[in-house]
Amino acid sequence: MTLDEFLSACRQLAADAPAAIAVAQSPAEFADVRTQLVGRKHGRLADLMAQLTTLDAEHRRDAGRAVNDVKAAIEQLLAEREAAVAAASRTTDALDLTMPSRARWQGSLHPVTLVIDEICEIFRELGFTIALGPEAETEFYNFGALNFPPDHPAMELHDTLYLGKDTLLRTHTSPVQVRTLQQYAPPVRVLAPGNVYRRDFFDATHAPSFMQLEGLAVDEGISFADLKATLGEFARRFYGGARRVRFGPSYFPFVEPGAQMDVEVDLGDGKGTRWVEILGCGMVHPNVLEAAGLDSERYTGWAFGMGPARIAMSRHDIPDIRLLYDSDVRFLEQFAR
Ligand code: PHE
């Protein structure tokens, strides 16, 4: 054999190898193709090696290098193909199509938050803006400026949570009335949502901490007719349709006259309609306007306060207020929107 013939046989083997290796899948097929190409005894490379001795002595060195290069190239192709096949089989093993999908949790707003947002939106349409005040209040804003006489029983230690001598957790959102009137000149129309605190037992109808929504409208020439019209319109927008409301007398030191508003609800439970009290309201007492620095001869106004938890309860026929605090997802998810 001449050197040229030998080198061309090497090139032929190098050219044939990739196609033969590319179809190998299983370990047995890899063993076969390896034997066929570079097997020690009968492979094509072994055949070439055997031919080395037939070459002239001065050509054996070049021929030996060429055959070694071909061997190295084939070994590398085999290793790469084996690694690729192994990696592909690993990913197929990891893909378990019988595994149940992971539950996706979709959060939702709390039913009381939904009620507050809805009421704020209705009053926004009626021209009200949002006002906020501190939950840690002074006796002046929580009681004194709201026309509570100094010895009023609502201020007793057993009724109110004091943080210090003069600081307490506000028992209602009405202090925001005074803070707003001190800060902004009439016309004022604000809605003040927020948390309030009372030394109440936690039972089916009371919670020691709960949300309130306060409303306040102050301007020249505001009358009880404005109060009735606005709150009636709110009830129709919130509860829907030709909703009936009624006002009855009630007492709060910071309004005169004071009233409560009931709304007629039908829960669709076959028990017919019934009246539910949803808020306290009244004309802002002149003493409150004066405490806030306003001339009570010039300005008048009305205010209301309601408990959105009570409203959520009447709307959904929820029997126990504690359900709204328990954070039981099975209960809360019924109201998810
Ligand atoms: N602040 C009163 C309460 O907590 C509610 C209220 C507000 C009544 C405004 C009249 C006017 O019970």
Last residue of a domain, one of 94, 128, 154: 94
On whether residue 105 sits in a domain, the answer given is no
State whether 20 and 123 are in the same domain: no
205 found inside a domain: yes
In this prediction, residue 27 carries a pLDDT of 86
Task: Decide: 217 in ligand 1 pocket, CB within 6 A.
Answer: no
**Do 62 and 128 share a structural domain?**
no
> CATH number for the domain including 314?
3.30.930.10
| Number of domain units in the chain | 2
On whether both 60 and 154 belong to a single domain, the answer is no
pLDDT of residue 53: 85
Q: Which domain holds residue 58?
A: 3-94
Distance from residue 174's CA to the centre of ligand 1 (Å): 6
**Residue 263 resides in a domain:** yes
Whether residue 315 is found in the same domain as residue 176: yes
Query: Do 191 and 57 share a structural domain?
Result: no
One domain, residues 46 and 134? no
pLDDT of 93: 65
- pLDDT reported for residue 292: 97
Report yes or no on 270 lying in a domain.
Answer: yes
Closest Cα partner for 308 from 334, 279, 271, 337?
279
For residue 79, tell me if it sits in a domain: yes
282 lines ligand 1 (CB under 6 A): yes
Residue 158: what pLDDT? 67
Low-confidence ranges of the chain (pLDDT < 50): none
Domain end call among 68, 94, 120: 94
- Nearest atom (ligand 1) to Cα of 215: 9
Q: Do 152 and 287 belong together in one domain?
A: yes
Whether residues 153 and 262 share a domain: the answer is yes
199-256 pLDDT, tens digit per residue, is 888 999 889 999 999 999 999 999 999 999 999 999 999 988 777 999 999 999 999 9
Q: Supply the pLDDT for residue 92.
A: 65
In a domain? residue 12 = yes
The answer as to whether 99 is a domain residue is no
Residues 195 and 62 reside in one and the same domain: no
